[in-house]
Copies of this chain bind each other. A is one copy, B any other.
Amino acid sequence: MVAVTEKGIHIVNNGHVTSPQGFSAGGMHAGFRKTKLDFGWIHSDTPATAAGVYTLNAFQAAPLKVTKESIEKENLIQTVVVNSGVANSCTGKQGIQDALETQALAAEKMGVAVDHVAVSSTGLIGVPLPMEKIHTGIEAMDDSNHASPDNFENAILTTDTVTKHIAVEVEIDGKTITIGGAAKGSGMIDPNMATMLSFITTDAAVDHDSLQKALSDTTNKSFNMITIDGDSSTNDTVLVLANGQQNNKVLNESHPQWASFLQAFQYVCEGLAKQIARDGEGATKLIEVNVGSAPSDNVASQVAKAVISSNLVKAAVYGTDPNWGRIVTAVGYSEQPIDPDKVSVSLGDIAVVKEGLPVYFDETYAKQYLENETVELNVDLGNGSHVSTAWGCDLTYDYVKINASYRT
């Protein structure tokens, strides 16, 4: 079943990373965590053109270094293996060796080139990767009992409460191209990437450099615009694999339908980003901050990030408190060129500030609005035509509870 958005994007019902042609996925319990699935994989029937974006954290974890270097060699990935529970971060030379060994074992098991395997880890920092569990996981990669995208999507989760997945279809060269994606991320999420893993697959043929640029640009408008707690992790990764099984004319910026592909690709990234934000640790609501009438894209996105990152705004939304002063305050400390007398704010459709001054609004109605599962905070800077949207979640008791005792 396929639903159609207002932009003409076809959304696959219950779409997954395996919705595009030629991809399979699986996951199982290898013992990194007590009981939950903790080892997963994606496999393409043929080597896929690959692009990646990685955390900007100075402490970049071992699997990121290994994956990045491998992709740089031929721009191809055929198999992705992911474990949760142990991040293989701050593990020094041993960590690099363990990531390389994981890659080599998976390559052997799946009969693919070593450099065509991407490795990814999420979980505790500073703990060596337990290689016997990696062995257990890799041993199971060809066992059809474990094959299912749902197993993969569950295996990559840590404190997440739900799996995140999506797929869309778009017509290119008269062929139906599918783009699928899965993600994890719940805590330690911040605009500049986060303990956030995202894997996107497509059966389109895409030029590598165009794919890399599309991923970087789109990440800035999706994954880099979500925040849960402002912390960027050492392991954040977004990988995209394009295996070309639809035999379309290779997509690049000069392809007449590049814009259609980009739009569908953006839809997948934004969809995953919103699913991550909505499932923030302890969250009860998705908050969407829309900034409009900004003098530049950068001003718009910096203001959006300042508002979505404010603990006070997040706590007010949790408490259904229409305390717009906190929104205005966050706009003001964004360190952007703001003219206070031109700023207007609304909660959904409820105007609360017009050109720097409070306007009368019905508090009861505003409180009711803030009880919605999705809350829109709209900021108009009155000084230009650029826009940006950021997503996050409310700050709740459960966020504190989860993070006061993650390890113990």
Residues of A within 8 A of B (CB): 56-60, 87, 89-92, 124-127, 187-188, 190, 192, 229-234, 309-312, 315-316, 318-319, 321, 323-326, 328-336, 338-341, 343, 353, 356-358, 367, 395-397, 399-401, 403-408
Contacts and interface: CB of A to CB of B under 8 A. Distances in A.
Contacts of A400: 315, 318, 395-397, 399-400
A357 B315 contact: no
Contacts of A407: 321, 323
A325 B58 contact: no
A197 B396 CA distance: 28
B404 A329 contact: no
B231 A331 contact: no
A87 B367 CA distance: 22
Contact of A234 (B311, B324, B329): B329
B338 A126 contact: no
Given A230-B230, A329-B59, A312 B125 contact: no
A89 B343 CA distance: 14
Residue among A127, A353, A399 with the highest chain B CB neighbour number at 10 A: A399
A330 B194 CA distance: 12
A353 B90 contact: yes
A146 B339 CA distance: 41
A311 B408 contact: no
Nearest to A315: B403
A319 B405 contact: yes
Contacts of A190: 333
A159 to B, nearest CB: 11
Residue among A192, A324, A357 with the highest chain B CB neighbour number at 10 A: A357
A333 B405 contact: no
A318 B402 CA distance: 11
Nearest to A355: B92
A403 B321 CA distance: 9
Given A90-B340, A92-B357, 8 more contacts: A57-B329, A58-B331, A92-B356, A124-B325, A229-B311, A231-B330, A319-B403, A400-B400
Contacts of A404: 315-316, 318-319, 321
9 contacts: A59-B331, A60-B340, A90-B328, A90-B353, A190-B333, A231-B310, A231-B312, A232-B333, A233-B329
B90 A357 contact: yes
A357 to B, nearest CB: 5
